[in-house]
Amino acid sequence: MNCDRYYAARALSVNLPTRGRLTGFRSPGQHSSPNSASSGRHRQFPSDCLDKRITWVFHSPMLDYLKARRWTIAALVAVLAVTGGIELAMGRLPLGPDGRFGFWEGDIWSSENSQRFADPYSFSHIVHGLLFYALLWRVAGFLPAQRRFLIALLLEAGWEILENSPIIINRYRSVTISLGYNGDSVLNSLSDILMMSLGYLLAYRLRPWQSVTVVLAMELGCLLCVRDNLTLNVIMLIHPIEAIRHWQMAGHPGA
């Protein structure tokens, strides 16, 4: 029996002809009885409908997409697990000093900044992914896309581990506006890797001019909202400019 006709019959509560004896359906010449299930309440589920459901579950486009990229997903999970393990061994706290989970912290001057899942600097890590994609496409375009993504993951994970080392933490505290910076929580650090992955995926999907537009929008947006972005962060870490620092400090609530 046709699957679509079966569901139509269920909706309208009518009998349909069948090829054989199924509960609730009459074969030619078969008479109904008062106790028969001709009302359709006990109709047998057609095998072709069951096949359709099984096919949809095990061969859905989303599942096929994930299966085709299972090694990429496995690499991402492995990098997250190893990075988290290293940072815990370094003494980093899973959820920050207060041990409380939080999804978003928008105040860059707060002690909770870099402790929650996301904060304004998450946009900088999305930009990381967009830039990593462009860089690796340029210098390692001969490699398969999955290997280039793995390289991007390792670069980001390496930076997260270095960023949470005493040398970089002290550098942030001495030359940037992050005066009270004590490093990221493990949650925030792993989130940064996920944000980079999101940026990398965006660059993979977007056209070059669209990626450039996204980068400019995020950099300008952060500059206007929190007076900081990836560009200024790099400048202040490598070659601090006092005029930039004064301008950034003017945004402090107590200034």
Judge if 101 and 206 occupy the same domain: yes
Query: pLDDT tens digit string along 193-215?
Result: 999 999 999 999 999 999 999 99
Q: Quickly state the pLDDT bin for 254 (edges 50, 70, 90).
A: confident
For position 25, what pLDDT does the model report? 42
Report yes or no on 36 lying in a domain.
yes
* 171 vs 22: which has the higher pLDDT: 171
Which residue type occupies 37?
A
Judge if 105 and 180 occupy the same domain: yes
Report yes or no on 255 lying in a domain.
no
Instruction: Calculate what percentage of the chain has a pLDDT beyond 70.
Output: 75
Report yes or no on 212 lying in a domain.
yes
Confidence check: pLDDT of 14 > 60: no
For position 106, what pLDDT does the model report? 93
Cα–Cα distance measured from residue 253 to residue 197, given in angstroms and rounded to the nearest whole number: 33
Tell me the pLDDT of the chain averaged across its residues. Answer: 83
Judge if 88 and 197 occupy the same domain: yes
* pTM of model > 0.85: no
Place of tokens 């997903």: 73
Report yes or no on 254 lying in a domain.
no
Judge if 84 and 181 occupy the same domain: yes
Please say whether the beta carbons of 211 and 130 come within 8 A: yes
For position 140, what pLDDT does the model report? 95
Judge if 212 and 128 occupy the same domain: yes
Task: Please state the domain count of the chain.
Answer: 2
Judge if 77 and 104 occupy the same domain: yes
Please say whether the beta carbons of 59 and 67 come within 8 A: no
Instruction: Calculate what percentage of the chain has a pLDDT beyond 90.
Output: 64
Range 109-125 average pLDDT:
94
Q: Which residue segment(s) compose the domain that 90 sits in?
A: 62-249
Confidence check: pLDDT of 81 > 80: yes
Lowest mean pLDDT among 43-47, 86-90, 165-169: 43-47
For position 55, what pLDDT does the model report? 57
Range 65-91 average pLDDT:
91
Judge if 206 and 82 occupy the same domain: yes
Three-class SS of the chain: CCHHHHHHHHHHCCCCCCCCCCCCCCCCCCCCCCCCCCCCCCCCCCHHHHHHHHHHHHCCHHHHHHHHCHHHHHHHHHHHHHHHHHHHHCCCCCCCCCCCCCCECCCCCCCCCCCCCECCCHHHHHHHHHHHHHHHHHHCCCCCHHHHHHHHHHHHHHHHHHHCCHHHHHHHHHHCCCCCCCCCCHHHHHHHHHHHHHHHHHHHHCCHHHHHHHHHHHHHHHHHHHCCCHHHHHHHHHCCCHHHHHHHHCCCCCC
Judge if 164 and 53 occupy the same domain: no
